[in-house]
Amino acid sequence: MAVMKLYGSLLSTAMGRVVACLYEKGLDFEFIPVDMKSGEHKKEPFLSLNPFGQVPAFVDGDLKLFESRAITQYIAHEYADKGTPLVVPGKQMAIVSVWMEVEAHQYDQPAGKLVWELGYKPHFGMQPDNAVVEENEGKLGKVLDVYEARLSQSKYIGGDTFTLADLHHLPTLSYLMDTPAKKLIESRPKVSAWVTDITSRPAWCKAIEFRKQQ
């Protein structure tokens, strides 16, 4: 059977989400780099893998997928019996699902904007926009206050065990911890302990190594 293929760029947080998932599951895959600098992702043949021209794209046999959170959910269900369980049975999954939506709709926007301003821009020799940084630090702070309360009742964000709800946060959290915005995390004890826990998972450490080696 053909090995799974993951198309993308190592700088991409969305790509990191899928790599983390594949490593948690102990699955083999082939990484096919997409040259975003030359606009490869906006042209054919990449557009036939993702018509929105974004990374990552994923192929498993004759199944072609895009959108990182659809890919991770597919992997988590299709390979449920391999490696770390990333979904849970029964009604508990509804709670995990709530916090997956929270990551996508409440957390990711302000976190993503901060990663862009404080992480990517300096990397490309650009100046951060301080007004945008301040606004999004304020917004992210309010979201993390909710997380602080949640993590006082629950070991992981979706419940008692590590699931996709935690995993989906890893790429942006990891980037933020290398920027001044880390103060938002460090000033909240439960959030801080949770971030330390999930970013030290062997599969995430492997994902970071993978990024460095390419």
Residues near a copy of itself, by CB under 8 A: 51-52, 63, 65-67, 69-70, 73-74, 77-78, 91, 93-95, 97-98, 100-102, 104-105
Q: Say how far apart CA 63 and CA 4 lie, in whole Å.
A: 10
Work out how close the CB of 196 gets to a copy of itself at its nearest, in angstroms, rounded to a whole number. 26
* Beta carbon nearer to a copy of itself, 51 or 125: 51
111 Cβ contact list (under 8 Å, min separation 6): 136, 140, 169, 172, 173, 176
Work out how close the CB of 171 gets to a copy of itself at its nearest, in angstroms, rounded to a whole number. 15
Work out how close the CB of 4 gets to a copy of itself at its nearest, in angstroms, rounded to a whole number. 13
* Beta carbon nearer to a copy of itself, 37 or 91: 91
* Beta carbon nearer to a copy of itself, 15 or 192: 15
Q: Say how far apart CA 98 and CA 102 lie, in whole Å.
A: 6
**191 burial via Cβ count (<10 Å: 0-12, 13-18, 19+):** buried
CB 185 within 8 A of CB 177: yes
> Strand 29-33 vs strand 4-8: parallel, antiparallel, or unpaired?
parallel
Torsion of CA 86, 87, 89, 95, to 10 degrees: 130
Residue 208: count other Cβ atoms within 10 Å of its Cβ: 16
In degrees, rounded to 5, the angle at the alpha carbon of residue 171 between the alpha carbons of residues 95 and 177 is 105
* Beta carbon nearer to a copy of itself, 86 or 192: 86
Work out how close the CB of 60 gets to a copy of itself at its nearest, in angstroms, rounded to a whole number. 9
Work out how close the CB of 50 gets to a copy of itself at its nearest, in angstroms, rounded to a whole number. 9
Q: Give how far the C-alpha of residue 100 lies from the chain's centroid of Cα atoms, to the nearest Å.
A: 11
* Beta carbon nearer to a copy of itself, 30 or 78: 78
Work out how close the CB of 95 gets to a copy of itself at its nearest, in angstroms, rounded to a whole number. 7
* Beta carbon nearer to a copy of itself, 90 or 125: 90
